[in-house]
Amino acid sequence: MVSKKVFVAGHLGMVGRALCRQLQLQPNIELVTATRAELDLTDQLAVKTFFQQRKVDEMYLAAAKVGGIYANNTFPADFIYQNLIIECNLIQAAHQADVQKLLFLGSSCIYPKLAPQPIPESALLTGPLEPTNEPYAIAKIAGIKLCESFNRQYGRDYRCVMPTNLYGPYDNFHPQNSHVIPALIGKFYRAIKNNEQEVTIWGSGNARREFMHVDDLASACLHLMAIVQNKYWAGLEPMCSHINIGTGTDCSIRELAELLLVLTGFEGQLFFDFSQPEGTPVKKLDVTRLKNKGFVSSIELKAGLDMTWQWYQKNLHFQQ
Helix H, strand E, coil C: the string for 95-160 is HHCCCCEEEEECCHHHCCCCCCCCECHHHCCCCCCCHHHHHHHHHHHHHHHHHHHHHHHHCCEEEE
pLDDT of residue 2: 64
Residue 232 has pLDDT above 70, yes or no: no
Q: Which residues contribute to the annotated binding site for NADP(+)?
A: 10-16, 105-108, 140, 163-166, 179
Domain membership of residue 87 as a residue range? 4-170+211-248+284-300
- The stretch 23-32 carries a mean pLDDT of 94
Residue 17 has pLDDT above 80, yes or no: yes
- The stretch 22-44 carries a mean pLDDT of 95
> Of the candidates 12, 29, 9, 22, which has an alpha carbon nearest to the alpha carbon of residue 215?
22
The domain that holds 18 is classified in CATH as: 3.40.50.720
Structure-model confidence comparison of residues 246 and 65, the more confident one: 246
Percent of the chain with pLDDT over 70: 94
Active site residue 232: no
Residue 269 has pLDDT above 50, yes or no: yes
**CA 236 – CA 157 distance, rounded (Å):** 14
Residue 240 has pLDDT above 80, yes or no: no
pLDDT of residue 170: 94
Other CB atoms within 10 A of residue 259 CB: 16
The band of 319, judged by pLDDT with boundaries at 50, 70 and 90, is low
Out of 22-31, 74-83, 181-190, 225-234, least confident range: 225-234
Residue 256 falls within a domain, yes or no? no
The band of 277, judged by pLDDT with boundaries at 50, 70 and 90, is confident
**CA 240 – CA 297 distance, rounded (Å):** 22
**CA 265 – CA 243 distance, rounded (Å):** 38
Sign of CA dihedral 146, 17, 243, 235: positive
**CA 150 – CA 92 distance, rounded (Å):** 9
Bond preceding residue 118 cis, omega within 30 of 0: yes
Residue 275 falls within a domain, yes or no? no
Residue 42 falls within a domain, yes or no? yes
Which residue is catalytic, options 60, 70, 111, 136? 136
Number of domains in the chain: 1
- The stretch 288-296 carries a mean pLDDT of 93
What is the pTM (predicted TM-score) of this model?
0.91
- The stretch 240-252 carries a mean pLDDT of 91
Q: Which residues contribute to the annotated binding site for substrate?
A: 187, 202, 209, 278
**CA 82 – CA 86 distance, rounded (Å):** 6
Residue 39 falls within a domain, yes or no? yes
Residue 276 falls within a domain, yes or no? no
Residue 320 falls within a domain, yes or no? no
Residue 246 has pLDDT above 90, yes or no: yes
**CA 192 – CA 186 distance, rounded (Å):** 10
For the chain, the average pLDDT equals: 91
pLDDT of residue 282: 85
**CA 99 – CA 6 distance, rounded (Å):** 10
pLDDT of residue 136: 94
Residue 175 falls within a domain, yes or no? no
pLDDT tens digits, one per residue of 161-212: 999 999 999 998 887 767 899 999 999 999 999 999 999 999 999 999 999 9
pLDDT of residue 132: 85
pLDDT of residue 81: 97
Our measurement of the distance from residue 110's CA atom to the centroid of its chain's CA atoms, rounded to an integer in Å, reads 12
- The stretch 123-144 carries a mean pLDDT of 94
Structure-model confidence comparison of residues 216 and 72, the more confident one: 216
Residue 218 falls within a domain, yes or no? yes
